[in-house]
Structure 1
Amino acid sequence: MKNIILHTRGIHCLRLPNIFRIIAVVVLGSILLPASPTLAHHGWGSFDTNNLVYVAGTVSSDGTWGNPHSYFDITVDSNLPASTPSDLEIPEQLQDPEDSTRVKAARAYNGPHKELEVIIAPPAWSGMWGLDRPLEVGERFQGVGYISREDDGLFRPVVFWYGDDNTPVNQVLGNRLPVRAPLPGSSTDSGDSPTDSGDTPIMGTDVLELSENDKSGDWVVWTVFGVIALAIGVGGFFYLRRSNQRN
């Protein structure tokens, strides 16, 4: 293996293998990664997380099945129910009342587009919850999620249902909604807990400014960075120790 020469004070001729140079490049890439558009796209920040919407339709394109996300188009039904149909099964990961209440209360999409582009999690994640293949053209699709702030023709679900059996597929990390926004029609102006038509307070109308999902990308990056930095430090220590013993 070729070596590079590193001259430092107190160490006149220290030979470091090229692997350390390669690792340094990886570390630098890890530092810069949070600023990349790809990582930013993994988060929910570019979507209107204050407004959960329900969409339904049929898959109208083969789309892309792969990493970092899968894409396909749907033709939106001309007549949508007012909100999420009550007979749709909420996946186990979103059955906490704070989340399931919001999913069930999502208002029907009323935007200008007859077709929407749908972005879902990569195959490895969707496959964990039952979808191990691309959706087929003409297949039934229903979803609850968010419209992009930057492109109102782009929809990203937190959960979706596919096929004639309405199989549910979880799409969130941390098993909770990215933001538990106020429920439709609720008000917190008076400082009291809003209620439904009865006397039971509706749970969780507080807005979380930054959710665990929003921070997950940075957490993963800095964890990887920390592991690599630790590996460099440990490897460098033993390399120097071995070099000193030889000398």
Structure 2
Amino acid sequence: MSVSTHTDRPLRRGLLAAAALLAASALALVPASPAAAHHGWDGFETNDLVYIAGTVSSEGSWGDPHSLFDVALDAQLPANTPDLPIPEELSGPEDSPRVEAALAYDGPHDELEVIIAPPWWSSSNGLDRSLEAGERFQGVGYINSTDDGLFRPVAFWYGDDKAPVNQVIGNTLPVRAPLPGDTQASVEPAAAPSAAEDPVEMDPPAEDAGIADDSGSETWVVWAAFGAAVVMAVVGGVLYVRRRTRQDERSPNA
């Protein structure tokens, strides 16, 4: 009875140690949910382009996977987008009228959090630095579907010279919604970029970031590392149990 009791204790301790190591490895290796880490166009009210204007009210963050800052809105906004230079990528006849016709924001907030593409994208499309508090900001874009305090532009203009910055890949809006007053019954989908082509979603190109891993290889690496951690945990637990069992068997109190 005594030998069995002392043998069971290290066995339980070994199994608990292996389980703890396995759980820690799983938490460390499982990547964060893409939905939590990124903000795709699907999460925004893409049927309703809105215009906002105000001043940057926070230093925000400038980096991957996206940049964020706050904008204190003007007390009075024009009915729709004023005369602004449309980014070349959105200057086509199907998109520029929609940007120009975007109605002014009429939501409940006097300040909005603005999410834009990461620096590697914005830098090649008109903005190569973080915006400073107090700078002028105007944007046309969408309100988030679940967080009405979050705004994501398809294009924006900054500074007193109203420098335009494109925020979508290619020459199309994510969705070409009917123009205000248009009797078109259905929404015309544009040749919208996929999640992988979304400037907020996609990884930097290899020449910009020095990284050329695709999602498949990244997944393989993660699971290979996880498998190695499982093997190490099991082997460690077995060795621990054997060592403690031998010690207890040799103990005079056994």
Short-chain TM bin = 0.5 to 0.7
What amino acid is aligned across from residue 80 of structure 2 in structure 1? Answer: S
Q: Secondary structure at the match of 2:145?
A: coil
Q: Give the distance between the partners of 2:60 and 2:165, measured in 1 at CA.
A: 18
Q: Secondary structure at the match of 1:158?
A: strand
What amino acid is aligned across from residue 147 of structure 2 in structure 1? Answer: D
Computing the radius of gyration from Cα coordinates, the structure with the larger value is 2
Q: Are the equivalent residues in 2 in contact too, given 1:174–1:213 (CA < 8 A)?
A: no
Listed as ranges, the gaps of 5+ residues in structure 1 are 1-28, 190-204, 230-247
Q: Are the equivalent residues in 2 in contact too, given 1:178–1:214 (CA < 8 A)?
A: no
**Percent of matched pairs sharing the same residue:** 59
Q: Are the equivalent residues in 2 in contact too, given 1:178–1:213 (CA < 8 A)?
A: no
Q: Secondary structure at the match of 1:184?
A: coil
Q: Secondary structure at the match of 1:174?
A: coil
Answering whether residue 98 of structure 2 is matched by residue 102 of structure 1, we say: yes
What amino acid is aligned across from residue 208 of structure 1 in structure 2? Answer: P
Answering whether residue 35 of structure 2 is matched by residue 37 of structure 1, we say: yes
What amino acid is aligned across from residue 81 of structure 1 in structure 2? Answer: P
Match of 1:69 among 49, 57, 66: 66
Q: Give the distance between the partners of 1:182 and 1:82, measured in 2 at CA.
A: 17
Aligned length: 183
Q: Give the distance between the partners of 2:75 and 2:99, measured in 1 at CA.
A: 21
Answering whether residue 154 of structure 2 is matched by residue 158 of structure 1, we say: yes
Q: Secondary structure at the match of 1:173?
A: coil
What amino acid is aligned across from residue 94 of structure 2 in structure 1? Answer: E
Task: Identify if the C-alpha distance between structure 1 residues 208 and 76 changes in structure 2 by more than 3 Å, giving closer, same or farther.
Answer: same
Q: Give the distance between the partners of 2:217 and 2:171, measured in 1 at CA.
A: 26
Pairwise CA distance, 1:130: 2.1
Pairwise CA distance, 1:83: 0.4
The TM-score normalised by the length of structure 2 is: 0.64
Pairwise CA distance, 1:208: 1.4
For CA contacts below 8 A with separation 6 or more, give which structure has more relative contact order: 2
Match of 2:193 among 199, 206, 212: 212
Listed as ranges, the gaps of 5+ residues in structure 2 are 1-28, 204-212, 220-254
Extract structure 1 runs of 4+ deviating beyond 4 A: 32-35, 225-229
Pairwise CA distance, 1:206: 4.2
Give the superposed CA RMSD: 2.9
